[in-house]
Structure 1
Amino acid sequence: MVGPGRPQIVLFGSSIVQYSFINGGWGATLADVYSRTADIILRGYGGWNSRFAVQVLDQVFPKDAVVQPSLVIVYFGGNDSKAPHPSGHGPHVPLSEFIENMRKIGEHLLSLSDKTRVIFLSPPPMNEKQIQLVFGGAIKGRSNEVCRPYAEALLNLCSEINVKGVDLWNAIQQQDDWMNTCFTDGIHFTAKASEIVVKEVLKVVREAEWKPSLHWKSLPIEFPFEFGVPNSLSLSEIELMRNNQLGPPPSATIL
């Protein structure tokens, strides 16, 4: 491990997480935003559902680890909500089991330490026609009609177990022409969709009454040495300017 130790922010989930560092992805943007204040750790597993996640919780997040994450952002649900395959195989997980799995995940993560915080991302909508155009018959059984109850049930669970929730289901659909601008293949995110994810995540982090705060503006900058050159900007000023695009516009409170 390299030092000094920073807060750890872990991204845990399926392909929405695994691919979050490509195509202007939301994971890469968070890593940039927190580049001098926290470490973004990727634990994404394409094709996984909540059932797989529960099986590896103790390995990915051991309770006896010397350092526990400060924040875990979790995404599962898209694969769980896929229609059952006639063979009985495939990623489908019934809604009731999905919620119980997510409850187990949330409770396990919260038990890691009294300073570990958790955010669940709801399943987003999808572009069903684009999925068909890109994948043909290779991917079947994905639909907004089936996915929506998973998103709604997950957000309800968040309030039950003291986990913060990000409503990607509605946030994505508020984007103009979202079906044509938010997906690379009908499922995975473009840079535009990832921008929405980042803004929604940072809004939750900023508004959360966590002590200490985990918002990027509240965390100390590592090695805040000044250049000592007359009329030069301080490192703090440079960091604020670099991330200025993520700050709320005048009179707005989105972040």
Structure 2
Amino acid sequence: MTLTQRSVTDARSSGVIDDQDEQEPELAAESRVASHTGHWQLRWQRTVRALDSLYAQARNSVSEQIRALFQRRVAAVPQLLFIGDSLTERGLQVAAENDPNAIGWGIRLVQEYNGVADCIFRGLSGYNTRWALPLIRRFLADLPVEHLLLVGVWFGANDAASVGAAQYVPLDEYASNLYEIMKLILERSHDGAQMPVCLDRRHRADEPMPAVSTTSADSTETTPKRYPYILLMTPPWVDESARMRAASTGRAAPTPTSQDTGSTTANIRLEPDRQNVRTSKYAQACHRVAAQIRPRESVLLLDLYERIQGLPPNERSTLYNDGLHLSARGQEFVFQAIRQLLAEEAPALTPSSLGQYAIPWRDINPSRPREQLAIYE
């Protein structure tokens, strides 16, 4: 036995060293192993918690993005506003008394945009542009600007009444009033750069007018699109013969010719209260005013005078019930003309491009409807 072993034995026999003292190095090693294992377990637990947190944040972020996207769509249901005279007012007619088969062009547009946009109509029967201006200011002020994508303007049928009639407005004033109406609309324009619009339209002005502009420089192909668009509709071609027949039944008021005014009753020759020789000039004025708007792409011009005049005579006569107001075929003609123009020159405003403003019911998960529909709350 060595000296060291003898010393340990003597110490153990004397009680200086016991068995527990010998076990301490082993316990310390085990403790170090346990501590090391616990350290990695703790790190793993923290990592799992961090990953869970990141996943929850990512999920919430995506949910919030989806929620915000649909909330913007729901909060900003697109609106199409149509302002005009009785031709606009009667656009909402269904089964008119003298034409039970008539369905107004406005009703057809409402059906076309059902679930996509709100179509709003402000038809002012008998109004001309002079009388309509104050009301148009009010109409535009009452609507949220950011919701408005299109404003249809259809005046001129009454402005072009016989000279001296209550509704008559001189041609120059008519053009000035149209210009003012379009200016009011464009002053409320808003950025529509997020909506893809493909337009390339230009008209040449015959008579220069001050340009209405919503930008500091002339529009170019790279200029962001602005909304609302203006759908400017010319007064339509007049069926003068039908207008005279309507006068004989009291549905229209004929006008004495200027050379016969003051003559005896037997010599008085009557003329229709609406004539194409005048109406055509008011239609041309729409072209001149539209040509001066900047950006030019903001104006969609629908020349109903030219379109109807170009039809065969037997077809033209079927579009009216009194030579001025539209029959069932006339209502359908105007609806299709608007629809075609938007498809060709403003495709971003078509129902298929705008899309539904609510989640289609087929896309709702029956097992989790509340989670999907919470975006509307």
| Greater C-alpha Rg | 2
Of residues 302, 307, 310 in structure 2, which corresponds to 1:166? 302
Deviations 1:58-102 (A, max 9, x none): 2111188465421111100010011122xxx50100000000000
The one-letter code matched in structure 1 to 2:289 is L
User: Which runs of 4 or more aligned residues in structure 1 lie more than 3 Å from their structure 2 counterparts after TM superposition?
Assistant: 63-68
| Aligned residue number for residue 111 of structure 1 | 187
The one-letter code matched in structure 2 to 1:173 is Q
Counterpart-to-counterpart distance in 1, 2:305 and 2:143: 35
Of residues 318, 338, 343 in structure 2, which corresponds to 1:201? 338
Q: Percent identity?
A: 28
Counterpart-to-counterpart distance in 2, 1:199 and 1:186: 20
Q: Secondary structure at the match of 2:285?
A: helix
The one-letter code matched in structure 2 to 1:132 is M
Counterpart-to-counterpart distance in 1, 2:359 and 2:308: 37
Specify every segment of 5 or more residues in structure 2 that has no aligned partner in the other structure, as ranges: 1-73, 94-101, 191-226, 255-272, 365-377
Which structure: greater helix fraction? 2
Give the TM-score normalised by structure 2.
0.55
Give the TM-score normalised by structure 1.
0.80
Deviations 1:127-177 (A, max 9, x none): 111111122374233111111010011122212213211010121233342
1:127 and 2:239 are equivalent in the alignment: yes
Deviations 1:18-77 (A, max 9, x none): 000122111111111101201111100000001011122221111884654211111000
| Aligned residue number for residue 354 of structure 2 | 219
The one-letter code matched in structure 2 to 1:9 is L
Deviations 1:201-253 (A, max 9, x none): 1222223357xx1111211123322179xxxxxxxxxxxxxxxxxxxxxxxxx
Counterpart-to-counterpart distance in 2, 1:49 and 1:209: 28
Counterpart-to-counterpart distance in 2, 1:129 and 1:6: 44
The one-letter code matched in structure 2 to 1:12 is I
- The 1:66/1:144 distance shift into structure 2, 3 A limit, reads closer
1:27 and 2:106 are equivalent in the alignment: yes
Specify every segment of 5 or more residues in structure 1 that has no aligned partner in the other structure, as ranges: 229-255
The one-letter code matched in structure 2 to 1:118 is I
| Aligned residue number for residue 139 of structure 1 | 253
Of residues 71, 75, 80 in structure 1, which corresponds to 2:150? 71
Counterpart-to-counterpart distance in 1, 2:303 and 2:158: 17
RMSD: 2.1
What is the aligned length? 221
